[in-house]
Amino acid sequence: MHLDHAGIATDDAAALADTYETLLSAPVVHEEAFDGMRVVFLELGEGYFELLEPLSDDGTIASYLDSQGPGIHHLALATDDIESALARARELDVRLIDEEPRTGAWGHDVAFLHPKDTGGVLIEFVQH
Ligand code: CO
């Protein structure tokens, strides 16, 4: 397992992508509208920043921005076997937000763990 990306909540993904492209020489490698959000991936070495901008006033990222403001929303860990990673979490009584992998941004299989059981960090398992 390795760190795949940081998910960053923002109210302006295009502007933030411009900032990071210039500041970090991190190219935009993927963009899509997904699940009520504009999602932009920038490549940084072996990993990514995933910018998340809500496209409406409801939804997870909109409420996150309302309560927390912009910033890091989750950390994603890449695995070759997401089913086994979820099974291990279950064995350890880590609560799962997604009981089964689902299709996430960029068509990857994803599943989120409950931050109350992971030190306050929202962790996403992702399998490319
Ligand atoms: Co993510």
Each residue's pLDDT tens digit, 75-96:
999 999 999 999 999 999 999 9
Hey, which bits of 27-78 come out as E strands? 28-34, 37-44, 47-54, 71-78
| Beta-carbon contacts of residue 91 (< 8 Å; ≥ 6 apart) | none
Task: Report in angstroms the alpha-carbon separations of 50 from 83, 99, 110, 121, 128.
Answer: 23, 23, 14, 16, 14
pLDDT in tens, 33-76: 999 999 999 999 999 999 999 999 999 999 999 999 999 999 99
> What pLDDT sits at residue 99?
96
> What pLDDT sits at residue 103?
97
Q: Which two tokens stand for residue 8?
A: 């960053």
Cα 66 to ligand 1 centroid, rounded to whole Å: 19
Tell me the pLDDT band of 115, cut-offs 50, 70 and 90. Answer: very high
Cα 112 to ligand 1 centroid, rounded to whole Å: 9
Tell me the pLDDT band of 117, cut-offs 50, 70 and 90. Answer: very high
Domain edges within the chain: 2-127
> What pLDDT sits at residue 22?
97
Cα 55 to ligand 1 centroid, rounded to whole Å: 17
The CATH number given to 2-127 is: 3.10.180.10
Across the chain, mean pLDDT equals 97
